[in-house]
Amino acid sequence: MSLTDDLYRDIILEHFKSPHHHGKLEPADITVEGVNPFCGDEVTLTARVSNGIMTEIQALAKGCSISQASTSMLTDAVQGQTLADAQRLAAQFKQVMLEGGPAAWPEALEDLEALEGVKKYPVRIKCAIMAWNALLEGIQDYTKETAVTGGAKPSAISHQPSASASTGLTETQVREALQAVEDPELHWSIIELGLVYGVQIGGGLVTVDVTLTSPGCPYGPMLLAQIHHAVKELPGVQQVKVNVVWTPPWDPRTMATDDVKMELGIG
């Protein structure tokens, strides 16, 4: 590994171990959540806005070192910036990560250069841009709200689903959507296999509790992503949370449908 690679690794680990602007602002003008189902990364960004400037931002992130380091760097980069400049910076960062090519970051943002090495590992790019996607979403929602209120500052703009909001969505509809998601190894629906342990609906948030056929299932990340996508496509769904649970352990003899048992020879 070159000295440059060592330096980049050290910068990422520094942000991972001691994230900057860690916490949650209450009250906040912007509250937005981001999720990367491939790695289980999650982030909550909260910010205060005054006269179009993001005067303060904090983040609560969990997941891999790349996503947490990127979130920490994001908070450094956008605090004190106008919303328009924060949007431009986020768009530039995403372009560098997704389309390639080095970026001439100003000295104050040179830590972002450390993340450019992630481009060598395409599967990790989503980890790096998750928080930036959330930021863009939060700013967009805030801008729309202030436009509706004639420029008046709202007390709190939140992208989190309201507990009182009703989408009319039912658990049956969610399970019907998940019927199309198949286990890549057994080629049966996760519903028929009995891998879906529970579905909770609260406003625009849908939480799905699932298990895998084995803890070391190599197709786990892909399966979780398919579940997330299938549910997110349903009308009224704003956010999807997929929880992997291991209790009780999956047992096709008691959890799978009769057709699956017959196919597997355990009927």
Tally of domains within the chain: 2
**Same domain (yes/no): 147, 178:** no
Q: Which residues contact 122 (CB under 8 A, 6 or more apart)?
A: none
Choose one of 136, 158, 180: the last residue of a domain.
158
Tell me whether residue 254 is in a domain.
yes
**Same domain (yes/no): 45, 97:** yes
Q: What HEC string does the chain produce?
A: CCHHHHHHHHHHHHHHHCCCCECCCCCCCEEEEEEECCCCEEEEEEEEEECCEEEEEEEEEECCHHHHHHHHHHHHHHCCCEHHHHHHHHHHHHHHHHHCCCCCCCHHHHHHHHHHHHHHCHHHHHHHHHHHHHHHHHHHHHHHHHHHCCCCCCCCEECCCCCCCCCCCCHHHHHHHHCCCECCCCCCEHHHHCCEEEEEEECCEEEEEECCCCCCCCCHHHHHHHHHHHHHCCCCCCEEEEEECCCCCCCHHHHCCHHHHHHHCCC
Query: What angle (nearest 5°) sits at the alpha carbon of residue 188, between those of residues 174 and 232?
Result: 25
Q: What is the pLDDT along the chain (267 residues), one digit of tens a residue?
A: 343 455 467 889 999 999 999 999 999 999 999 887 666 789 999 999 999 999 999 999 998 889 999 999 999 999 999 999 999 999 889 888 887 766 677 777 888 888 888 877 777 888 899 999 999 999 988 988 877 555 555 445 444 443 334 558 899 999 999 999 998 888 899 999 999 999 999 878 999 999 998 877 777 888 888 999 999 989 888 899 999 998 888 888 889 898 888 887 876
**Same domain (yes/no): 46, 144:** yes
Identify whether the C-beta of residue 246 lies closer than 8 Å to the C-beta of residue 230: no
Tell me whether residue 224 is in a domain.
yes
Tell me whether residue 183 is in a domain.
yes
| pLDDT tens-digit map of 46-55 | 999 999 999 9
**Same domain (yes/no): 198, 142:** no
Tell me whether residue 67 is in a domain.
yes
Choose one of 126, 158, 190: the last residue of a domain.
158
| pLDDT tens-digit map of 65-119 | 899 999 999 999 999 999 999 999 998 898 888 877 666 777 778 888 888 888 7
Tell me whether residue 149 is in a domain.
yes
**Same domain (yes/no): 224, 185:** yes
Q: Burial level of 111, CB count in 10 A (0-12/13-18/19+)?
A: buried
Tell me whether residue 163 is in a domain.
no
Give pLDDT, residue 163. 35
**Same domain (yes/no): 88, 196:** no
Give pLDDT, residue 165. 43
**Same domain (yes/no): 69, 139:** yes
CATH (domain of 228): 3.30.300.130
Crossing angle for the helix pair 65-78 and 83-99, to the nearest 10 degrees: 150
Tell me whether residue 221 is in a domain.
yes
Residue range(s) defining the domain that contains residue 256: 171-264
**Same domain (yes/no): 21, 133:** yes
CATH (domain of 57): 3.90.1010.10
**Same domain (yes/no): 29, 151:** yes
The pTM for the full model equals 0.57
Choose one of 158, 184, 201: the last residue of a domain.
158
